[in-house]
Amino acid sequence: MGSTFHIFTDGSVIGNPGCGGWAAVLISGDKSWEMSGSSPWTTISEMELTALLAAGLSSDSDRYLWSDLCASKLSEAVTSRSTTQNDEHQAVCAALEMQQFGEIACDSNKIAIAAEELSPFVNQHPDAVLPQLQRLIATHADEWQMFRASAGPQSFINQWLDILK
């Protein structure tokens, strides 16, 4: 019979996006293992997920709330239960945050300001933070646009974002 593990994970970000960190603690009997990491520019979702993955946790697909982000209606995207008004609110907010974060890639002034604000948290000069931040945001913008294109115009996410333009 295998050992029983108690696993605690957490991720956090100052701002969102911003400077973030994650940690995981695994306990079995009188033994414990700790692991942690950080990123100078990330999102809360990425840090939470990183903590879970570092702890070796995964989830069966039937545990995900959203199963089809290409669905034309939110209710068609949910896995195994009906949606609530809160589900829709959270989904709209998440889509807007992803869109806004991608749009920052076109605004060098906002990126420079963010590098200034971030630099004390990562103990680096803003000039060192700026190119890293530019790469991260450019990568996110590219990935977000690829996701939106692959989801197609019928996707509830793209429909929402088109209405909110």
Spell out the domain ranges in the chain: 1-58, 60-165
| CATH (residue range 1-58) | 3.30.420.10
| Chain segment 43-83, per-residue pLDDT in tens | 877 888 788 778 776 555 444 456 677 788 877 776 655 66
Residues 117-132: tens digit of each pLDDT = 888 877 889 999 999 8
The answer to pTM > 0.85 is: no
Joined together, the tokens standing for residue 32 give 């414990």
